Amino acid sequence: MSERTEIPEISVVITTYNRADLLPAALAGILAQETGGLRYELIVVDNNSTDNTREVVENFIAQGHSVLRYVFEPRQGVSQGRNAGVAAARANIIAFTDDDVVPAPGWIAQIKHSFAEHKDVDFLGGKILPEWQTPPPRWLTTDHWWPLALLDRGDEPFYVNAANPLCLPTANAAFRVEALTNIGPFSEEFSTREDHELLLRLCQAGYQGLYEPKLVVMAKVQPERMCKSYHRQWNKSTGKFNSLMRLGEIMGADGSIKPEARNTLRLFDVPAYMYREFISQSLGWLKQSIHGNESTKLQCENRLYYLCGYVRTRYKQTSAQQRFSALAELISFAKAVWRKKVVRQQHS
């Protein structure tokens, strides 16, 4: 039986769009994996590129890389591309990475080993470390890694589940096919936030994942992503998508679990604690503006952009559904706050 017709143990999926200049390094990194004989396939989903992406892939195939497969997906969108890759995959484990990422030499073997060692997990994720194309600005500390899809949660593995629904970005993630089949495809509605939305559904359905620090990839950080305007826009857009998913009521900006309960006072269907956070972040921004800590100041500023995107989206959606009076909503909220204050005083 030939290498091409053998059923692979792992299918690696890369979705790409007009990144023909970056794609060769990603392909070379996967095709040079130290697998110890482990069978795998590499599926490149061309998401309607207008550059020479197809030629790049076909050149690699012509060089004898029979494990490499080309799939064309005309419908634009990361979710559409990933779903096309899942449909084409033949293995029982599907791993995802990106066209600007180079996995460590033992990446595929580590995926297989981790699933074999942890039979109680349905998905894996690991470190996404930066490969800076230009020196990063001083303010770009690890606190600002999330918009760059970078991740380093330390050197100890831990479970990801409903009690700790940390997002493991699909630049470095792998799933058992059974879990993906049962939970459904990547959401096309939340394309660009598709990995977060999918993992949330998995956790809510009772599936469990693992953060595996031995699973490492290096991500090329493009210079245009190291400017403040990119981070502001990313946080604003993330606030919008998370509002539609109500994700901000479950997780913090860094993807970690929030301790606040869902049953709380709301204004325009937004929990009251998010408004309190807006005030505290505003005060934090003012404080850092005076004391001059640029990184912390930007962290507060980005969180404000996130909250604005979240609240604005929730307000527009709620007002369209309920056709309420904004003044009446404010009065009702103020009354609820007053009643809660009175009850607290009576019990004190």
At the topology level, CATH places domain 10-225 in Spore Coat Polysaccharide Biosynthesis Protein SpsA; Chain A (3.90.550)
At 341, is the pLDDT very low, low, confident or very high (cuts 50, 70, 90)?
low
Average pLDDT value for residue range 14-32: 97
Q: Does residue 249 have a pLDDT over 80? A: no
DSSP 269-325: TEEHHHHHHHHHHHHHHHHHHHHT-HHHHHHHHHHHHHHHHHHHHHHHHHHHHH---
Domain ranges of the chain: 10-225, 244-347
pTM for this entry: 0.85
At 39, is the pLDDT very low, low, confident or very high (cuts 50, 70, 90)?
very high
Cα 160 from chain centre: 14
Mean pLDDT estimate for the chain: 88
Integer angstrom CA distances of residue 230 from 106, 190, 238:
33, 19, 12
pLDDT tens digits, one per residue of 285-311:
999 999 888 999 999 999 999 999 999
Q: Residue 3 has what pLDDT? A: 44
Cα separation, 210 vs 115, whole angstroms: 9
Q: Residue 189 has what pLDDT? A: 86
Please, are residues 15 and 101 in contact by the beta-carbon 8 Å criterion? Answer: no
Nearest Cα residue to 18 out of 54, 70, 43, 42 = 54
Q: Does residue 339 have a pLDDT over 80? A: no
Give φ, ψ of 277 to 5 degrees: -65, -35
pLDDT tens digits, one per residue of 42-75:
999 999 999 999 999 999 999 999 999 999 999 9
pLDDT tens digits, one per residue of 79-103:
999 999 999 999 999 999 999 999 9
